[in-house]
Amino acid sequence: MAATIISGKDVSAEIREELKERAARLKEKGHAPGLAVVLVGEDPASVSYVTAKGKAAEEIGIFETTIRMPGDSSEEEILRQVDDLNRDDRYDGFLVQLPLPRYVNAGKVINLISPDKDVDGFHPVNVGKMLRGEPCPLPCTPYGVVQLLVRGGYGPDGKHVVVCGRSNIVGKPLAAMLIQKRKGANATVTVCHTATPDLRRFTLQADILVAAMGVPRAIKADMVPDGCVVIDVGVNRVPDAAAAKGFRLVGDVDFEPIKEKASAITPVPGGVGPMTVTMLMMNTIEAAERKAGLIS
Question: Where in the sequence numbering do the catalytic residues fall?
Answer: 53, 97, 120
Binding window for ligand NAP (CB under 6 A); candidates: 79-87, 104-112, 165-173, 222-230? 165-173
Find the shortest distance in angstroms from Cβ 217 to ligand NAP. Answer: 11
Binding mask 118-147 for ligand NAP (x = CB under 6 A): -----------------------x------
Residue 41 contacts residue 104 (beta carbons within 8 Å) = no
Find the shortest distance in angstroms from Cβ 66 to ligand NAP. Answer: 18
CA gap 56, 277 in Å, rounded: 7
Binding mask 187-216 for ligand NAP (x = CB under 6 A): -----xxxxx--x------------xxxx-
The single residue among 23, 82, 113, 169 that binds ligand NAP, judged by CB under 6 A, is 169
User: Which residue's CB is nearer to ligand NAP, number 26 or number 275?
Assistant: 275
Closest by CA to 295, choosing from 92, 47, 99, is 92
The single residue among 34, 261, 273, 287 that binds ligand NAP, judged by CB under 6 A, is 273
The residues pairing with 65 across neighbouring beta strands, listed in sequence order, are 36
User: Which residue's CB is nearer to ligand NAP, number 23 or number 170?
Assistant: 170
User: Which residue's CB is nearer to ligand NAP, number 250 or number 262?
Assistant: 250
> Residue count at the site for ligand NAP (CB under 6 A)?
26
Q: Report angle CA 203, 178, 106 to the nearest 5 degrees.
A: 95
Binding mask 218-247 for ligand NAP (x = CB under 6 A): x--------------xxxx-----------
Q: Which residue is nearest to ligand NAP (CB)?
A: 167
Find the shortest distance in angstroms from Cβ 58 to ligand NAP. Answer: 20
In the complex, the residues that contact ligand NAP under the rule CB under 6 A are 141, 164-167, 169-171, 192-196, 199, 212-215, 218, 233-236, 272-273, 276
